[in-house]
Structure formats: structure tokens, C-alpha cells
Structure 1
Amino acid sequence: MNVAYLNQTLRVLLLFVLVFGILYFSAAVLIPLTFGLVLSMLLLPVCHWLQGKGMGNGVASFLSVLALLVVIGGVITLLQYQISDLAEDLSKIEERVNSIIAGTKDYVKQHFGISHREQQKMIKEQQGSGMGQVAGMVTTLIGSLAGVLVDAILVLVYTFLFIFYRGHFKKFILRLFKPDSREETELVLNKAGKVTQSYLGGLGLMIVMLWIMYGIGFTIAGVNNALFFAVLCGVLELVPFAGNITGTSITVLMALAQSGDTKVVIGVLITYGFVQLIQTYVLEPLVVGDRLNINPLFTILIIVVGEAVWGIPGMVLAVPLLGMFKIVCDHFEPLNDYAFLIGPPNEKKSEGNFLTKLFKPNK
């Protein structure tokens, strides 16, 4: 075995360990910064379009971030409207939950011989011992919400600054490399930006389609406030694998609490299965496609690693970051083997998916 090659491989692996260590211990700083970087890449086409209309860089950058806020605000307003309708049904849901609890108590009494009074006494004891924990959970929740608000503001500021100073940052990166390799470096930067834009844009379009399909399916199934749960399931799709299961589980539990009708629950499960079938075999190949050219094994692995390092934000950011890393590996010779490992078998140059071919103008 070539000793020099082995030493080079060990140095690269040591670099990976060092990078993940820095990511873990610097999460509070790097998470909003990374979100700002990824969102700035997504909004660059909007900024370029606005500048093409004669606007200055500052105005175009600000309006790009404002457009993002409008979209997010629209989704929040829609959810708030549905939540207000859902709140009107809380009394019915409470009655249904109380009925389920009463039935459970009767079952325990009949099969285990524990009277209602004894069950109530046990519940009160558990509630008393858990009051401190509940207070701690409330305090933690309030602190977490405050932290999320601060991070959201930071993300918007970072996004604007990344867009506004993109030319300056690009020149800085190019200055880090020798003049004869700057052309290749610029190519890598452009590819990384385009891949991120393509992936996130396709993901956003797919989420909108999921909203429509879930909304129709849940409405047919008889779920109250079907639009709310449809939007919830679609938004949770940002968290790969776990998100859609979580959203559907919440919908099933709320359907049980609202009506207790097993037909509604079956309808929700059928909708979930049908939507997952369409998503896997139609939407993902056509809308999202293999834009990142990543092996499915490493897609799952990087999501697990992202959750371990940065939690839920890590799961959201893991896939596009891995896609950018693969582009770097493709163009940096010492990392070519890792690009081969991460990429799919028999990788070919992407010629675009069905939708890009369909709308591509003839030359």
C-alpha cells in the first residue's frame, strides 16, 4: 500500500473530524449564518432579475429579502387563520378527550381492578410530582421561542448582507487561490450556487404541490381544518424522512380527538400513502430530480449526522450542504475519491429533468 496515499487519506479524515467538532461547538453562531448563506443563494436569481429592471444592488437585495418575508408571512397568516378555526373546536376536542379518558378508566377498572378513585389519586400524585418539571418546561419553551426570534432576525440580516456583498466575498475567495486556478474556483462557486438554487427551488415547488394533494385528500377524508394539517405536513417536509411521518401522525391524533371516527383516520392514512407514492415516483424525479447527484445512503447518513451536530436545523441544511461539498470534491483532485463515494453509481452529467427539458427553448 502506498504510505504517502495513506497519510493523505488520514489527514483528510482528521480534517473532517476537526470540521465536525467546530460545527458542533459553534452551532449557535454557525446555524443562522449558514441559513443566511443558503437563503442568499436561493434569492440571487430574484436579485439579478430586479437589477435587470434597473434597480441598484442595495434596493434589489432588500426587495429580495422582503419577498422572502412576504412568502413566509403569507404561510403564517394562512396557518393563523386555520388555527383560529381550530380553536373554536377545542371544546368538542376536550369533550372527546375526556370521553377517551373515561373509557380508559373503565377498562382499567374492569381488567385490573383499580377503582376510579384510586386511579384519580394516582394521577394527582403524578401531577404533583411533575409540577416542577412542567414549570421548567414552560421556562425552557419561552427561552427557546426568544432564541428562535433572535436567530430569525439574524438570518434575515445575514441573508441581506450575503446578497449585497456577494461580489466582495467572491473576490476574497478567488484571492485565496493561485491565479492559474481562479477560473476553476469561480466555476466551482457558480456550480455550488446553481445546484443549491435548483434543489431548494424544486423542493419549494414540491411542497406547494404537497399542500394541494394533502388538502384535497384530508378534505375528502372529513378532517376538520384540513388546510391547516395539509400546510403542516408540507412544511414539515423540510425535515427529510421524519417530517412527513410527524405531520401525518399529528393529523391522525387530531382526527381521533375531533371525531373518533375510524373512517376519518383510515382516510388520512390512505391520503398519506397515496401522496407518498406520488411524491416518490412522480414529484421527486420530475420536480426535484437528482439535482445534487448524491448516493441515497449518504443522503440518509448526512441527515443523521446533521441532526446529531445541529439538531433539526442540521437536518434541514444537511442535504444542500452535502451537495455543495460534493461539487468541491469533484473539482479538487485530493478529494475526487470522496466525490465518487458520495455520488450515485454510474454518475452522468445532468442534462436537466423533465420540466427543464419541457420548457427549454429550441435553438
Structure 2
Amino acid sequence: MKQTVQFPFYAKFALILFIIVSVTALLYLGQSVIVPLLMALLFAILLRPVANFMEKKMKMPHVLACLLTVVLFVVFIGGIFYFISIQVVEMANDWNTMKTNLMQHYHNLQAYVKDTFELDRDQQEQLISKAADSSLDSGTSMVSTTLVSFSDTMMNLVLIPIYIFLILLYRNHFIKFLCKLFNEKHHEKLQQILATIKVSVQSYIIGLMIEFVIVSVLTSVGLMIIGMKYAILLGVITGLLNLIPYIGILIAGILTIVASLTGTTDLSIIVGIIVVNVVVQLIDNNLLVPMIVSSKVEINAIASIVGIIIGGILGGISGMFLAIPIMAIIKVIFDRIDSLEPWGYLLGDDLPRNFQWRKKRPEKPQATPEA
């Protein structure tokens, strides 16, 4: 007869802290391997219906269906970046005009500093020269860090499609592996968890793609109305950066303002840019996110912000993007294990507007899977 050992609360708490620290250290040290794998896993879940359609409806061989699915995905992503690169090249052709406008803004700033702080231009130049000398070492290290980050990004661009292909190719093998980890009586609950994760991840990523298109179009139209040059490019960049919750739209606004300074000497356009970004953000936060994105993952705002910060520390921009879907997967698992259900509830969003919808959800099975 099996005996259950009961540990005191402080022992359980210490064990939980040890596990959290160990997992965090593992993720941080192995981010170069884990982050591309997680990105590939999410995209593989998204592309799985496409591969199934080619295999079952179009009667393609399993390997060919997986390969063609990945090729179409790479072409789609490559098309977006090709469009951006064309726009960037067009912007680079106006470099002389940009440099002239930047110098004009620089001289205007010097005049403002002189009138406000009574520092003539020679004194300002001396201060800037000292600051430049003191930051030379940090600038060198920043350049080296940027080069390493760029090389890692290029490596991931090669590895992620390969990982996606292999995950799609061996998806049934991985599912059988998971079934072998648990007792047969828990296979039904395992199937429920996997099915829920698949639906949640697919719905979330599709929601992000819809949000990307709408935000890009709204921002581009708004920037065109105020007479901003390269409005379409800046709109697409805003839509891409907006995929990083809470932080991306702020970065996009700063980039747009900097781009406006290089395109014109009129500072009044900055007000228009701020208005456009605020209006688009209000529409995004109050309509798009609740209807298209948040309803798919049910993660509350506090957990989302903390998860994004932790993801950024562990994996940079990729970690920020992965934070929400990974938390959604964790919540699905927690919700279906009785001993972990309180933690799933902590991550969830149980506002009154969702109460009636939650009451209609079917009850979860009570059996707890073995560890």
C-alpha cells in the first residue's frame, strides 16, 4: 500500500522556490537553444492544420506536406521583411535630406540650451566631446554585443524553420512519448490538455496576426493623413512592434518621432504622431485586444506584465513575444491538475464581465495525473 509523505508548509515553499530558481537558471543559461525551440513549437502548432490539410485533403506524402508548409511560412515571413527592406532602401536614398534636417534640429536645440541654460555653443561642444570620450568604451562593447546579437538572430532565422519542419514531421512521435510518460488512466486528461493548448495557441497567434494587420493599416492611414513620409513603412513597423505587449507600441512611437525629425524640420508633426499613436492604442487596447487576443489566453494584466518583463530578462525580444503564449500553456496545465489549480486561477482573468461565460464552461475532470 502506497504511503503519502506530508511535508510542512515551509518545506514545500522552499522546494517550490528551489524549482523556480533552477528552471529560471536553466532558461537563462540555455536561452540560445530553448528560445528557438519554443518559437518553432508555437509556429508548428499554428501551421499544423495547414500540414494536415495538405496531407489528408490534397493526398500529399507526410514529409512533402510538412516541407511545403514550412516553405509557405518562410515565403510569407520573407515577403514582409522584403517589403520593409525595399522601404528602408528608399528611405536611405534621402539620406542627404535627413542629415540636413537633423543638423537643423541640432542647431535649434543648441539655441534653446543657450537661451535656457546660458551655455554658448563652444561650451556645449566641450560637454558633448567629454561625454563622447567617456562613453567610447561602452560604445565599443555595445557594438560587439550588437554584432553577437545579430549573428544569433541570423542563426535563429535558419534554425527555426528547420525546427518547425522536424516538429511537424515527428508530431505523432512526440504525442506518443507524452502518453508513455503517464499512466493510461490519465490519457484522456492528457488529450484534453493537448487539445486545449493547440486551440489556445492557434487562436492567440491568429489573433496577433489580425491585430498586426489592423494596427498597421490604422497607423499607416493616420500617418498619411498628417502628411508623414514613409507612412506605410512606419505603420508596418508599428504593427510588428505592437506584437510585444505594452512595450512595443511605446518603442514604435519613439521610432516614428525620430523618423519625423529626419523627414522635416517642422516640429508640429510630432503632435500629430502622438495623436495617431494614442488613438490607435486606444482602439487596440479597448477593442482589438479584448475581442481578438486576450479572450484567447485569459491571462490577467498583472501576470502578463510580470511575465513579459521576466521573458525580456531571460530571452530579450523573443522572450517577450513568447511570454504570453507560454503562460497560457502553463495555465491550461494548471487548470486541469487539482493541486495546481489555485495557481492557474492566479494567472487567470476573472473579471465580472467574464463571469457568466465562465459559468457555462464544462466542469474539469477531478482525477489528478501522476507526477
With the length of structure 1 as denominator, give the TM-score of the two structures: 0.89
Distance of 1:300 and 1:122 partners within structure 2: 38
Work out whether 1:248 is the aligned partner of 2:245.
Answer: no
Work out whether 1:274 is the aligned partner of 2:279.
Answer: yes
Alignment of 1:129-278 (within 5 A): 129-278=134-283
Distance of aligned partners of 1:43 and 1:24 in 2 relative to their CA distance in 1, 3 Å threshold: same
Distance of 2:307 and 2:127 partners within structure 1: 44
Distance of 1:164 and 1:350 partners within structure 2: 39
Structure 1 residue runs of 4+, over 6 Å off? none
Aligned to 1:46: 50
Aligned to 1:36: 40
Aligned to 1:17: 21
Aligned to 2:319: 314
Distance of 1:190 and 1:92 partners within structure 2: 55
| 1:195-242 superposed Cα distances (whole Å, 9 cap, x missing partner) | 101101111111011111111001101110001100110000121100
Distance of 1:127 and 1:9 partners within structure 2: 49
Distance of aligned partners of 1:125 and 1:304 in 2 relative to their CA distance in 1, 3 Å threshold: closer
Contact 1:41/1:196, CA 8 A, preserved across alignment: yes
Work out whether 1:26 is the aligned partner of 2:51.
Answer: no
Please identify, of 100-109 and 296-305, the stretch whose mean Cα deviation from structure 2 is larger.
Answer: 100-109
Aligned to 2:82: 77
Distance of 2:127 and 2:182 partners within structure 1: 69
Distance of 1:94 and 1:115 partners within structure 2: 23
2:68 counterpart letter in structure 1: L
- Paired residues in the alignment total 350
Contact 1:96/1:259, CA 8 A, preserved across alignment: yes
| 1:235-269 superposed Cα distances (whole Å, 9 cap, x missing partner) | 00121100011101110122133213244222211
Distance of 2:359 and 2:47 partners within structure 1: 23
Distance of aligned partners of 1:332 and 1:113 in 2 relative to their CA distance in 1, 3 Å threshold: closer
Structure 1 position 63, deviation (Å)? 1.3
Contact 2:105/2:265, CA 8 A, preserved across alignment: no
2:59 counterpart letter in structure 1: G
**Any stretches of 5+ residues in structure 2 without a counterpart?**
1-5, 362-371
Distance of 2:134 and 2:211 partners within structure 1: 46
Structure 1 position 139, deviation (Å)? 3.1
Structure 1 position 110, deviation (Å)? 4.4
Work out whether 1:338 is the aligned partner of 2:343.
Answer: yes
Aligned to 1:359: none
Distance of aligned partners of 1:128 and 1:342 in 2 relative to their CA distance in 1, 3 Å threshold: closer
**Any stretches of 5+ residues in structure 1 without a counterpart?**
353-363
Distance of 2:330 and 2:260 partners within structure 1: 42
Q: 1:288 aligns with which of 281, 293, 298?
A: 293
| 1:24-75 superposed Cα distances (whole Å, 9 cap, x missing partner) | 2221221111111111111111111111211111111111111111111111
With the length of structure 2 as denominator, give the TM-score of the two structures: 0.87
Contact 2:237/2:252, CA 8 A, preserved across alignment: yes
Distance of 1:157 and 1:307 partners within structure 2: 24
For the aligned residue pairs, the C-alpha RMSD in angstroms reads 2.3
